[in-house]
Amino acid sequence: MVEKFAFLVHPRNTLRQDMGLLFGAPFRLVPEAALRTALRRLPLPPIVTGQLHRADRPEEITGSIITVPLTPTQLLTLPRNQVQARISAAIDKAKDMGASVVGLGALTAPASGGGKAFSKRTDIGVTNGNAFTAAMTLLAMERLLARLPSDTLIALVGATGSVGSCLTRLLARQHAGRLLLVARNRRRLDTLAEEVRSDDLAVSVSTDMADVRNAGLVVLLTSAPDAILRSEHLGQGAVVLDDTVPRNTDEGLLRSRPDVTIIDGGLVEIPGFELKGCSIGLAPKLAYACLAETMLLALSGHQGHFSIGAPEVHQAEHLLGLAARYRHLGFQLAPFQSFGRKLDTIESPAKTSLFTGKEIVTCAA
């Protein structure tokens, strides 16, 4: 049986812009600081800001987008009980609207231990969406690695996180070569490295972003409120796959580092659906992989929680199976784009940089 779902989002740190998009142009005139204070101090309820419909059944709402009224910085820095109470209120709203599964979008997952804070709820299934995100990120990496030298060092920045640890385990099963795991907590890095290291896979760890300079492929999986991967962290011609929402890369990198390619990660095509009422910052027919995981679970009639904390490899595989089953509605890796602009595959020997072949992706600005 097909179930309804809900997906939680929140405004970005560019609050005026997002509040203007959500609630109308006058909000763009309110000073940022006043909006931030209002979100922090007022007991604002969660708000339903959009609906997803099947393109072939436009009269039916299959899912709702619910906005948790907190900024990225507030989600990560306000007292945990306050933040989780706000997220919990949004989950209550999802339940009241008839959803059987709710996805924790963007920083609502890191702010709740990947959903562990809600694992005792039995009235609705919760998923952080990170199993499908890891699976889709692996597919994107395979596509990129096919064009890179076989000895390319891959840096997974945020490797010990919910998406990061699932991706590390998926990659370790099939990839031979060199892997650099980066995060701030050394103990967790060492434990993960020990688990995945093999005769075929040399795994090093670092808590210093400067070490990312040695990598040809950088996969960004951190949960910071704004940009942390900067020009000085990137080697010549590096390819960056950035899964983070909100982005932990700054668009200024496109100008300051034209040798570097930055690809928006974790994006999935959903031509079988239409989003109405709000923007989630993506072109029509595109979804974040965590939203796609929530949709796949609802479509398949899944009951109970799914990805909580760090998802397991078999969960990523299960979702790849569901994506194949519902292929007629989409759920395939989206074509590469960079900061929302299409990346075209072109022949350009002058820009082959780290790519082995002539075919590379460049930004069609």
Contacts of 55 (CB under 8 A, 6+ apart): 271, 272, 273, 274
- In the complex, the smallest distance separating the C-beta of residue 209 from ligand NAP, rounded to whole angstroms, is 7
**CA atoms of 278 and 65, how far apart (whole Å):** 8
Q: Residue 1: which of 363, 257, 298 has the closest Cα?
A: 298
Identity of the residue, 38 or 278, whose beta carbon is nearer to ligand NAP in the bound complex: 278
**CA atoms of 323 and 341, how far apart (whole Å):** 25
Tell me the CA distances in angstroms from 205 to 31, 176, 189, 275, 352, one per residue in order: 42, 17, 6, 41, 29
**Positions that interact with ligand NAP (CB under 6 A):** 106-107, 109-110, 114, 128-130, 133, 158-164, 183-185, 188, 221-224, 228, 243-245, 265-266, 288-290
Angle of CA points 193, 137, 191, to nearest 5°:
15
Q: At what angle do helices 130-145 and 162-174 cross, to 10 degrees?
A: 40
Contacts of 321 (CB under 8 A, 6+ apart): none
- Residue nearest to ligand NAP as judged by C-beta position: 161
Identity of the residue, 128 or 261, whose beta carbon is nearer to ligand NAP in the bound complex: 128
Identity of the residue, 7 or 355, whose beta carbon is nearer to ligand NAP in the bound complex: 7
Identity of the residue, 46 or 158, whose beta carbon is nearer to ligand NAP in the bound complex: 158
Identity of the residue, 106 or 215, whose beta carbon is nearer to ligand NAP in the bound complex: 106
Identity of the residue, 87 or 289, whose beta carbon is nearer to ligand NAP in the bound complex: 289
- In the complex, the smallest distance separating the C-beta of residue 348 from ligand NAP, rounded to whole angstroms, is 28
- In the complex, the smallest distance separating the C-beta of residue 173 from ligand NAP, rounded to whole angstroms, is 19
- In the complex, the smallest distance separating the C-beta of residue 162 from ligand NAP, rounded to whole angstroms, is 4
Q: How is residue 86 written in tokens?
A: 């706000």
Identity of the residue, 19 or 292, whose beta carbon is nearer to ligand NAP in the bound complex: 292
- In the complex, the smallest distance separating the C-beta of residue 66 from ligand NAP, rounded to whole angstroms, is 16
Residue whose entry in the numeric block shows the structure tokens 């078999």 = 314
DSSP class of residue 113 equals G
Identity of the residue, 184 or 358, whose beta carbon is nearer to ligand NAP in the bound complex: 184
3-class DSSP state for residue 87? Answer: helix
- In the complex, the smallest distance separating the C-beta of residue 222 from ligand NAP, rounded to whole angstroms, is 4
- In the complex, the smallest distance separating the C-beta of residue 312 from ligand NAP, rounded to whole angstroms, is 14
The secondary element (H helix, E strand) that includes residue 344 is strand 341-347
What proportions of the chain, in percent to the nearest 5, are helix, strand and coil?
A: 40, 25, 35
- In the complex, the smallest distance separating the C-beta of residue 266 from ligand NAP, rounded to whole angstroms, is 2
3-class DSSP state for residue 172? Answer: helix
